[in-house]
Homo-oligomer: A and B are copies of this chain.
């Protein structure tokens, strides 16, 4: 098996001191994921994290300005990882339809086709993204943070999906919206299946992720082919 060392680079404005570079930094990232996964973002505090890793609040503040920015850092990590995975697994697929199908697989099922990373638990991070991911970019001061480039990774990921969509139909008028919709809808339906089942048709049972992929692919192809027709019909 080929062991790949992924070099994810993350916006430097998100941290005070690069956590990748020190043992403590990596422990902060690693355990923040585990702790948020366990107690949720609201109950997560630097104090609890410090206790968990046998360090102090003050030490964590040397790496991250505050809990929100640490969270945005983690979310960026996820986006970068996802972008890498989409690129990697669609690389040698000839038809754009099959590339889109694979991209959706990679988006939905983070356990399969695992690209493991030393100190980050991608499954836990994926769970966090499903339940709390949107909080990273739904806030009042979004414009300032956007100016600092905190969401470039999401935009790049979205663009990567949009490009596959355009390979299927270069005339499709909504590649970016469809891409972001697929990304959001993937997480939403996983979440709804588990917690608010009446908001989805996916039942939370063995193999439900397969069903999510199937549905998303059907939606995507429907939108792509349907939209063309609608326009011509007008």
Contacts and interface: CB of A to CB of B under 8 A. Distances in A.
Interface of A: 39-43, 131-132, 134-135, 137-143, 146, 151, 154-155, 158-159, 173-181, 184-185, 188-189, 191-192, 195-196, 198-202, 215, 217-219, 221-227, 229-231
Oligomer: number of copies: 2
Contacts of A138: 131-132, 134-135, 191
B174 A184 contact: no
B223 A227 contact: no
A158 to B, nearest CB: 5
16 contacts: A40-B139, A42-B139, A132-B138, A146-B196, A158-B198, A175-B201, A176-B201, A177-B189, A177-B199, A177-B201, A180-B200, A181-B185, A181-B188, A219-B223, A223-B223, A225-B226
- Looking at A134, A141, A142, A222, which has the most chain B CB atoms within 10 Å of its CB? A222
How would you classify the secondary structure of chain A's contact residues: helix, strand, loop or mixed? helix
Contacts of A137: 196
Contact of A219 (B139, B176, B181): B181
